[in-house]
């Protein structure tokens, strides 16, 4: 069974302690400059701190009020840093676990290939850290593979549980699509020669650690666009607050610089500004818990915008092997006789198809596996004859391709030909069975669709994602499977260049494409796709071409990846809506309280009836800081995504987070104001 990376709790004690320390480290202005909103908050907090020190030294009565404002402004900055640090801490915990899988292992490096005299290869023992690109190493049973590379000779069973969490060993061999090996995994049996393809420090594990920690996480295009929007809103509210000062002087309402700065911090979008990085990091964290490594946040974001999903048929939509589904005897042959003959002819067939025939026959007949006896002569399958079977005393049972078996038959009944044609038209594969040269009937082999796949494709369709099946089957077979699976389109008899051409055509139409692959021939299409998911079991070329690596090598995980990407976009959009609605509500909650004395007409919109201007601004600042902490779990966990249309999502977003963002400040600020007033009166 594959394994999902265990996720620490939202506020795991170890992570929380480290995040609390990191929140102070992140006060460095050079680090905060990447987040304009929180950077502005830190700068104005420093200014208010200076005014507080001045008032304190002058023993001014305003020092107590400005001191409270200073404390809560710095809490706002720290809480924003804490949100990002918690998200990073979850990744660092996983990175520490990955580091523990690494060790300074030793390698047997080839220094003298087999010479002309027939002597064996000569190796030297070196540290794995001393290996260079292109070095050849020998890895034997019980030894760690010292670095990422390609198997160039030999075949071995490899334990990759340190990387994938999958306890079952995998086979790695030279040539084909299963030649890539990862440093830190263990050879369990036999031996392999590996050509090193990654220098120390840039191996797959090293890249995973850097990505999981967030050290190499760059802002995605949507994040950059949102940062520009938030910066614009910050400038707008800065202008608003600056213009309020002369307005207050003119109207006779005394407003200090401390109050204006506090008002500015309440009005600028500090909530989403403080949570934006945490949302992006949490998106990658959710992928990691599904054992998928994204090489950038851009890939996760692109997954949320995917319009078309390319899925391979074999192993993704179907179980991977054609299985027996029906026994069709010819006229004059009883079903029991035919099934028994098919069972006997398949007992020695160890292919998945052969085993499925045995399983179906035993189920239909209802008795245990028959004994072939000592006189039985097994006829193994041959690619040349395309026939297999068994010779028993007086019985020659054969099973295989229709044309091959029929060629040795005495006659071909009409109903036999009809059954073959029917099965072929339905997309299945007919297998003929004969006894002593007489055709007994046809076995219907078919691609078995995974039971839940049709519902999942329906969910994708509800998301607005078009599903396309890619298969090497002929168009008739492909159409039958596509119809049964419920995909929107299919590409039959697909070659690597066909996949690439399809992706380019769709992208020219403005669509974002996702696909998965594991072979070198998939690399061009993986590189071209907006979301290219390479299988961990695939070749080095495929893993380097894609922008995600699935450690479980499960192609159906593309569906989860798309859902996680959409959840990331939903979370960011929902919290942005909530934050902006918050700012609007705070504006109408605070301004009347500040100016109601100078402008009695404002009493009409002074809904909250706050105790005093000082209490109003202090309550707003406290609410502004606490709401960031309150929203951290939602930012890390993500807003639940439901596969409904865009219009329904927009309505839900506005109703829950837009309306909620408008109402929450009125309730929260009023409650805090009551508490603050009670404390001051006491």
pLDDT score at 180: 80
pLDDT score at 76: 93
Report phi then psi at 396, rounded to 5. Answer: -115, 100
pLDDT score at 448: 75
- CA–CA gap between residue 390 and residue 397 (Å, rounded): 5
pLDDT score at 373: 77
- CA–CA gap between residue 108 and residue 636 (Å, rounded): 45
Query: Is 384 known as a binding-site position?
Result: yes
Query: Is 399 known as a binding-site position?
Result: yes
Quick check: 469 and 311 in contact, CB under 8 A? yes
Q: Which of 307, 267, 298 is nearest to 617 (CA)?
A: 267
Query: Is 285 known as a binding-site position?
Result: no
pLDDT score at 3: 44
Predicted confidence (pLDDT) per residue in 359-407, tens digit: 888 876 666 677 777 788 888 877 677 888 888 888 898 998 888 888 8
pLDDT score at 492: 85
Q: Which of 442, 213, 233, 410 is nearest to 333 (CA)?
A: 442
Query: Is 383 known as a binding-site position?
Result: yes
pLDDT score at 77: 93
28 is annotated as an active-site residue: no
- Name the band, by pLDDT with cuts 50, 70 and 90, for residue 623: very high
The DSSP result for 208-236, as a single string, is HHHHHHTTTPPPPHHHHHHHHHHHHHHHH
pLDDT score at 116: 46
Quick check: 86 and 15 in contact, CB under 8 A? yes
Report phi then psi at 515, rounded to 5. Answer: -155, 165
Q: Looking at per-residue confidence, does 113 or 246 come out higher?
A: 246
Report, in angstroms and rounded to the nearest whole number, the Rg of the chain calculated over CA atoms: 34
Q: Looking at per-residue confidence, does 619 or 61 come out higher?
A: 619
Query: Is 522 known as a binding-site position?
Result: yes
Q: What is the mean pLDDT of residues 229-237?
A: 88
Please name the helix (run of DSSP H) or strand (run of DSSP E) that holds residue 111, with its range, or none.
strand 106-112
Checking if the pLDDT of 93 tops 60, the result is yes
Query: Is 387 known as a binding-site position?
Result: yes
Predicted confidence (pLDDT) per residue in 5-23, tens digit: 445 555 667 778 888 898 9
Mean pLDDT (the chain) is: 81
Work out whether strand 513-517 and strand 531-535 pair parallel, antiparallel, or are unpaired. parallel
pLDDT score at 365: 64
Supply the DSSP symbol for 165.
-
- CA–CA gap between residue 512 and residue 466 (Å, rounded): 11
- CA–CA gap between residue 292 and residue 304 (Å, rounded): 15
> Which of the listed ranges 145-154, 171-180, 212-221 does the model predict with the highest average pLDDT?
145-154
pLDDT score at 291: 80
pLDDT score at 45: 93
Express as a percent the part of the chain with pLDDT over 70. Answer: 86
Q: Which of 83, 510, 565, 577 is nearest to 298 (CA)?
A: 565
Helix%, strand%, coil% for the chain, nearest 5? 55, 20, 30
Q: Which of 175, 442, 170, 467 is nearest to 311 (CA)?
A: 467
pLDDT score at 630: 92
By CB atoms closer than 10 A (0-12, 13-18, 19+), residue 229 is middle
Query: Is 386 known as a binding-site position?
Result: yes
pLDDT score at 320: 59
CA angle 300, 306, 307 (to 5 degrees): 180
Domains of the chain (ranges, CATH numbers): 1-105+201-290 (no CATH), 106-145+148-197 (2.70.150.10), 294-317+450-560 (3.40.50.1000), 321-448 (3.40.1110.10)
Q: Which of 611, 562, 560, 575 is nearest to 590 (CA)?
A: 611
pLDDT score at 79: 92
Checking if the pLDDT of 1 tops 50, the result is no
pLDDT score at 104: 58
pLDDT score at 218: 57
Q: What is the mean pLDDT of residues 72-92?
A: 85
Query: Is 381 known as a binding-site position?
Result: yes
Cα 579 → chain centroid: 27
pLDDT score at 356: 84
DSSP-H helix ranges across 466-495: 475-485
Predicted confidence (pLDDT) per residue in 440-480, tens digit: 999 998 877 777 788 888 877 877 888 898 877 778 778 88
pLDDT score at 208: 63
Establish how many alpha carbons lie within 13 A of residue 129's alpha carbon, considering only the half-sphere containing its beta carbon. 4
Would you mind telling me the total number of residues written for the chain in this entry? 682
Q: CB atoms < 10 A from the CB of 625, how many? A: 25
Work out whether strand 170-173 and strand 149-159 pair parallel, antiparallel, or are unpaired. antiparallel
Predicted confidence (pLDDT) per residue in 97-132, tens digit: 556 555 556 788 888 665 544 456 777 888 877 788
Q: Which of 148, 206, 305, 312 is catalytic?
A: 312
Q: Which of 180, 174, 137, 173 is nearest to 157 (CA)?
A: 173
Checking if the pLDDT of 191 tops 70, the result is yes
- CA–CA gap between residue 15 and residue 127 (Å, rounded): 34
Checking if the pLDDT of 438 tops 50, the result is yes
- CA–CA gap between residue 400 and residue 439 (Å, rounded): 11
- CA–CA gap between residue 596 and residue 580 (Å, rounded): 24
């Amino acid at each position: 069974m594959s394994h999902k990376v265990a996720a620490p709790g939202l506020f795991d004690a170890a992570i929380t302690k480290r995040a609390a320390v990191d929140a102070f480290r992140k006060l460095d202005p050079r680090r905060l400059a990447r987040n304009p909103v929180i950077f502005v908050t830190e700068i104005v907090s420093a200014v208010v701190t200076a005014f507080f020190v001045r008032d304190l030294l002058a023993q001014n009565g305003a020092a107590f009020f400005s001191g409270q404002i200073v404390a809560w402004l710095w809490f706002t900055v720290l809480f924003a840093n804490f949100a990002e640090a918690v998200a990073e801490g979850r990744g660092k915990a996983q990175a520490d676990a990955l580091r523990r899988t690494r060790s300074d292992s030793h390698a047997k490096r080839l220094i003298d290939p087999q010479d002309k005299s027939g002597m064996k290869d000569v190796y030297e023992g070196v540290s794995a850290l001393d290996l260079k690109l292109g070095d050849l190493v020998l890895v034997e049973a019980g030894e760690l593979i010292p670095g990422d590379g390609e198997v160039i000779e030999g075949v071995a069973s490899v334990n990759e549980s340190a990387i994938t969490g999958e306890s079952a060993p995998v086979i790695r061999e030279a040539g084909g699509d299963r030649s890539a090996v990862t440093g830190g995994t263990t050879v369990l049996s036999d031996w392999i020669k590996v050509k090193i393809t990654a220098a120390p420090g840039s191996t797959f594990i090293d890249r995973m650690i850097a990505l999981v920690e967030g050290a190499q996480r760059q802002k995605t295009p949507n994040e950059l666009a949102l940062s520009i929007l938030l910066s614009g809103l910050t400038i707008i509210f800065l202008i608003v607050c600056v213009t309020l000062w002369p307005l207050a002087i003119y109207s006779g309402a005394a407003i200090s610089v401390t109050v204006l700065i506090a008002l500015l911090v309440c009005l600028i979008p500090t909530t989403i500004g403080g949570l934006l990085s945490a949302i992006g990091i949490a998106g990658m964290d959710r992928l990691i818990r599904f054992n998928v490594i994204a090489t950038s946040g851009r890939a996760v974001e692109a997954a949320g915008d995917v319009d078309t999903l390319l899925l391979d048929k074999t192993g993704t939509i179907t179980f991977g092997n054609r299985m027996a589904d029906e026994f069709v005897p010819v006229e004059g042959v009883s079903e029991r006789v035919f099934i028994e003959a098919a069972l006997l002819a398949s007992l020695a067939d160890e292919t998945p198809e052969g085993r499925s025939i045995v399983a179906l026959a035993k189920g239909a007949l209802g008795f245990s596996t028959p004994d072939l006896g000592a006189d039985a002569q097994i006829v193994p399958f041959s690619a040349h004859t395309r026939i297999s079977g068994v010779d028993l005393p007086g019985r020659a049972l054969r099973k295989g391709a229709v044309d091959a078996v029929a060629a040795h038959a005495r006659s071909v009944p009409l109903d036999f030909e009809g059954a073959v044609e029917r099965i072929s038209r339905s997309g299945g594969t007919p297998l003929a069975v004969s006894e002593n040269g007489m055709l007994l009937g046809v076995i219907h082999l078919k691609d078995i669709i995974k039971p839940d796949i049709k519902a999942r494709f329906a969910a994708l369709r509800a998301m607005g994602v078009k599903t396309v099946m890619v298969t090497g089957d002929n168009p008739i077979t492909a159409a039958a499977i596509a119809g049964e699976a419920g995909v929107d389109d299919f590409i039959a008899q697909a070659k690597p260049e066909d996949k690439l051409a399809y992706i380019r055509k769709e992208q020219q139409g403005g669509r974002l494409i996702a696909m998965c692959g594991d072979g070198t021939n998939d690399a061009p299409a993986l590189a071209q796709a907006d979301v290219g998911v390479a299988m961990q079991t695939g070749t080095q070329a495929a893993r380097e071409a894609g922008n995600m690596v699935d450690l479980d090598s499960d192609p159906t995980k593309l569906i989860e990846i798309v859902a996680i990407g959409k959840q990331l976009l939903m979370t960011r959009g929902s919290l942005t809506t909530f934050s902006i609605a918050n700012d609007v509500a705070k504006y109408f909650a605070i301004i009347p309280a500040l100016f109601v004395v100078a402008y009695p007409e404002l009493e009409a919109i002074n809904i909250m009836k706050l105790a005093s201007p000082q209490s109003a601004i202090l309550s707003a600042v406290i609410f502004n800081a606490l709401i960031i902490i309150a929203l951290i779990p939602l930012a890390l966990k993500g807003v639940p995504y439901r596969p409904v249309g865009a219009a329904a999502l927009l309505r839900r977003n506005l109703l829950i987070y837009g309306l909620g963002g408008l109402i929450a400040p009125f309730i929260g600020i009023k409650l805090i104001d009551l508490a603050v007033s009670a404390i001051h009166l006491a």
